[in-house]
Structure 1
Amino acid sequence: MQFDYKEFHIDTSPLDEGGRYYARAKIYRRPSAAGDAVEVKYSGDLGDYPSDASAIEAAQRWAIEWCNARSG
């Protein structure tokens, strides 16, 4: 799942490994008019979950907290 939050673009697509879903997030600074989005943070695995929805929810929570801590 991808969404914009504050000045960031967030991708919370989980990794599916044998029926377990690993929460992870990539956070990008949203692009300026002159350039592409630049990745600023990759979470790594944030835990495994029984469903993709649970993994996405966990990654979204982590990403929003990370962005809130770094927004001006």
Structure 2
Amino acid sequence: MQFDYKGFHIDASPLDEGGRYYGRAKIYRRPTAGGEAVEVKYSGDLGDYPSDADAFEAAQRWAIQWCDKHGA
């Protein structure tokens, strides 16, 4: 799932591996007019979860905390 938060664009898309879901997120600076988004942080795997919803929540929580700390 992708969403915008503050000055960032976040792609928090869980990875499905054999019935387990791994939370992970990529954070981009939102593009300026005519520019492209630039990746600024990749979480790596944030743990495995029993559902994609749980993995998404973990990735979303991590991304929001990172953005709050490194805010735009």
TM-score, normalised to structure 1, is 0.97
Distance 1:7 1:36 in 2: 14
Q: Which residue of 2 aligns with 1:23?
A: 23
Q: Distance in 1 between matches of 2:54 and 2:47?
A: 10
Structure 2 unmatched runs, 5+ = none
Which consecutive segments of 4 or more residues in structure 1 shift more than 4 A? Answer: none
Other-structure match for 2:58: 58
How much does 1:63 deviate? 0.2
Amino acid at match of 1:13: S
Matches within 5 A, 1:1-72: 1-72=1-72
Matched residue pairs, number? 72
| Counterpart Cα distance in 2 of 1:26 and 1:68 | 15
Q: What amino acid sits opposite 1:69 in the alignment?
A: K
List gaps (5 residues or longer) in structure 1.
none
Distance in 2, matches of 1:34 and 1:17, equals 37
Give the CA deviation at 1:71.
Answer: 1.1
State, as a whole percentage, how many aligned pairs show the same letter.
Answer: 81
